[in-house]
Chain A
Amino acid sequence: MDIPAKTGYLGIDVGSVSTNLVILDEHASVLAAIYRRTQGQPIKAVQEGLKELVALLEDQEIEVRSVGTTGSARHLTGIIVGADVVKNEITAHAVAASQVVPDVNTVLEIGGQDSKLIILRDGVVTDFAMNSVCAAGTGSFLDHQSARVGIPIEDFGSYAVRSESPAHIAGRCSVFAESDMIHKQQVGVAVEDIIYGLCHALVRNYLNNLSKGKELMAPVVFQGGVAANAGMKRAFEDALGMEIVIPTHHNVMGAIGSAILAMEMELEPGETSFKGFDVSGLVYDTSTFGCNGCSNTCEVVRIKVEGKTLARWGGRCGKWENEDAPRGRKRERASVGA
């Protein structure tokens, strides 16, 4: 007897540090999730991620109904896999959080190189902030410090929670935080207290930069790669005086959000733009050129697959996007903001 293929929704979040892929079933439960490093090669990360996903699903037959992409490489990824919805990561994270904790009021998200604060009321985003100008206190910094003190990043949190009196670390600037930590080490402060002190400094920095005048109400959800760090959770709980919820799949919430957004498109079977898991075997080539159409001289990105131009984008006027748009059937177009 044939087992009918399960319907699945694919979400891909390609960020600066990690590339995450998830497949959700029609009840938005996670069937498979992949978290891997981007390592500066977004295309390769997506291709490898897709392979891993197939391996993880093993004999399960999945019919991908629709696909969503998010993260800083969302456009590029969208072109490669054939996305049905391409969304910014702020929206994707908010969607995922309100799926997991339906009455969520506050989302704290700390990723590799950015941090976000999202305020929701009745399931609707009412305000958000994202770090700009400064990235002190994001995942990359923790990564760097863990390498420096010789403690694997995975164990960082367990050290922090053992601390009884956190050291005061200057957290305004990553470089100064580092020199302050070195100083604390040299005067003999316990490594647990330094690490927990660092968590406090990062939380202070996060709240100073992002929460300006915003009311942080419970329930608070903490997600992103850094949420794996129990020390950060504890430091947030200390600072806010309330319990912090960390979702099971906290490190792939962006991907979950984009899969939910894809699900909400309510596509009929076969309507998706998804190009299949086979794209992991193709050879992509990206390059840039300066457009000479006007004095703006925009930098345009071109991506080729097997030597054939797949898409070009990046100009201010949209000329290259328009030229590459599929002819014939006129699709209802959504904007970036839609």
Chain B
Amino acid sequence: MKVSCPHMGHLHWMLDDLFERLGVDYVKPPPTTTKTLTIGAKHSPEFACLPLKINVGNFVEALELGADTLIMAGGHGPCRFGYYGIVEERILRDLGYDFKFIMLEPFDDGKWAFYKTFESLSPGLSIRKLWKTLKASFSKGRAFDEIYKRSLQVRAYEVNRGDTTRALKEAEQVLVPAYTPEEIEEGARESLAIIDAVDQDLDREVLKVGIVGEFFLLLEPFSNFGLEEILGPMGVYIERSVWVTDWIAPNRDNKIYGFPKQLVEEKAAPYLSHNVGGEGRETIGSIVLMAERGFDGIIQLLPFGCMPENIATSIIPKVQREHDIPVLTLAFDEQTGRAGLVTRVEAFVDLLVARRGSKLALAGAATATDAATKQPSLSKI
């Protein structure tokens, strides 16, 4: 049995660990590229959102590598996501592939079914062993989340462009072999130290931007054109509201984000008091939370046509007014171009700089021409 699962940012590191512990042969889909999306978009319904198209592309590429068992997360609620596994299976069968398809429904929707799903992958697996395994893999997943989170902050201060990204790659490799709880703990410390060791100019004045929105767009850098790596070198310190392990975790602590769901929901309550599916409510709550914490601005990401985020988008103007915080909404689909994104993000950063009313020592060269560009005065704008 060769098992595969679609990509979602750095989730694959945790799956590596999980499947190794379960003794399952894991076929990691090739990294998501434009080719993946082209395959996915070709075979998916046009009106389906970007994540589904990328999932389908990942599945096709994994099947081509010999995967015979595909796992897709399920779910329930007003968002289409819970339905995607079913649609994806249908698409792949219509394409003539032969495989076993497993929908992994959330733990809270049935503990026994959840256990049986894993037991079918790893026959003879006891509940106790599954629990221990998940706990260990989760702690490793959290360690990965932590280094990514730290990199978003360090990148704003890096002296040499690209150093943080290079350090991140190195840190990942330190964590990969960690297996026992002690090794994971040690690896977490060591990998964070690698990120912290990046040459930084801590006197630099940076902008603080929060990234909120639909989970897949936040977690998968391919889907947002590596937005964080575009913003970071402009001298933007980033926090985001969704992390891989927070999103998967059955509890509601948001350990990586640092703010439990209950608090986020309370912050959203004056504007949106009930769940509208996806991260609609969390988006509103996080904007309020980040505004209160003194962020300069917020960027909301959503796949084009995303219902929960569209609800949030229509509420945002009111939140923006009452909390005096600029919000840039960016919708993505397979037609989205990088140039248009960069233009909007650049203009948004200009806006934030002007609001600060100061000349930020924005550093790093994000474009070719920057080599020949000096710091302009920002007095006018």
Contact = CB atoms under 8 A, between A and B. Distances in A.
A312 to B, nearest CB: 7
Interface residues of B, number: 62
A233 to B, nearest CB: 25
Given A133-B333, A338-B375, A98 B368 contact: no
B197 interface: no
Contacts of A132: 330-331, 336, 340, 344
B377 A266 contact: yes
Contacts of A83: 369, 372-373
Contacts of B375: 265, 332-334, 338
Contacts of B317: 212-214
A335 B156 CA distance: 12
A332 B374 contact: yes
Given A321-B367, A321-B371, A332-B375, A72 B339 contact: yes
B365 A78 contact: no
Contacts of A78: 368-369, 372-373
Nearest to A326: B371
Nearest to B372: A273
Given A85-B373, A86-B373, A321 B347 contact: no
A84 B366 contact: no
A95 B381 contact: yes
Interface in B326-381: 326, 330-331, 333, 335-336, 339-340, 342-351, 353-355, 357, 360, 362-381
Given A88-B343, A132-B331, A333-B363, A125 B351 contact: yes
A27 interface: no
Nearest to B226: A316
Contact of A124 (B331, B335, B376, B381): B381
A320 to B, nearest CB: 8
Interface in A288-338: 295-297, 311-313, 316-322, 324-326, 331-338
B358 to A, nearest CB: 12
Contacts of A130: 340, 343-344, 347
Contact of B362 (A88, A297, A316, A337): A337
A321 B368 CA distance: 5
Nearest to B359: A338
Interface string B221-260: 0000010010001111000000000000000000000000
A126 B326 contact: yes
B305 to A, nearest CB: 10
Interface string A91-109: 1001100110000000000
B340 to A, nearest CB: 7
Contact of A337 (B304, B339, B345): B345
Contact of A91 (B336, B347, B362, B371): B347
A123 B380 contact: yes
Contact of A333 (B30, B353, B360, B364): B364
A185 B375 CA distance: 55
A311 B346 CA distance: 21
Nearest to B30: A295
For B318, B362, B364, which residue has the most chain A Cβ atoms within 10 angstroms?
B364
B374 A265 contact: yes
Contacts of B30: 295
A82 B374 CA distance: 12
Given A75-B367, A95-B381, A261 B226 contact: no
B151 to A, nearest CB: 13
B21 interface: no
Given A86-B373, A123-B380, A317-B229, A91 B162 contact: no
Contacts of B10: none
For A94, A99, A125, which residue has the most chain B Cβ atoms within 10 angstroms?
A125
Nearest to B328: A128
Contact of A126 (B162, B351, B369, B372): B351
B235 A260 contact: no
A193 interface: no
A90 B373 CA distance: 19
A267 B353 CA distance: 21
Give the size category of A's interface with B: 35 or more
A303 to B, nearest CB: 8
B117 interface: no
A88 B369 contact: no
B33 to A, nearest CB: 6
B339 to A, nearest CB: 6
A84 B374 contact: yes
Given A133-B304, A265-B374, A336 B380 contact: no
Given A332-B374, A338-B376, A312 B368 contact: yes
B367 A336 contact: yes
B376 A336 contact: no
A127 interface: yes
B161 interface: yes
Interface in A112-130: 123-128, 130
A89 interface: yes
B31 interface: yes
A154 interface: no
Contact of A127 (B34, B314, B326, B362): B326
B350 A337 contact: yes
A83 B360 CA distance: 21
9 contacts: A79-B368, A90-B347, A124-B357, A128-B351, A318-B365, A321-B365, A333-B371, A336-B234, A337-B349
Given A125-B351, A336-B366, A337-B234, 14 more contacts: A85-B376, A89-B343, A90-B343, A124-B355, A127-B351, A133-B331, A297-B34, A313-B369, A319-B162, A334-B370, A335-B363, A335-B365, A337-B345, A338-B353
Closest 6 CB pairs of A and B: A213-B317, A337-B349, A313-B368, A90-B347, A78-B369, A337-B234
Interface of A: 69, 72, 74-75, 78-79, 82-91, 94-95, 98-99, 123-128, 130, 132-133, 212-214, 260-262, 264-267, 273, 295-297, 311-313, 316-322, 324-326, 331-338
Interface of B: 30-31, 33-34, 161-162, 165, 226, 229, 233-236, 304, 314, 316-318, 320, 326, 330-331, 333, 335-336, 339-340, 342-351, 353-355, 357, 360, 362-381
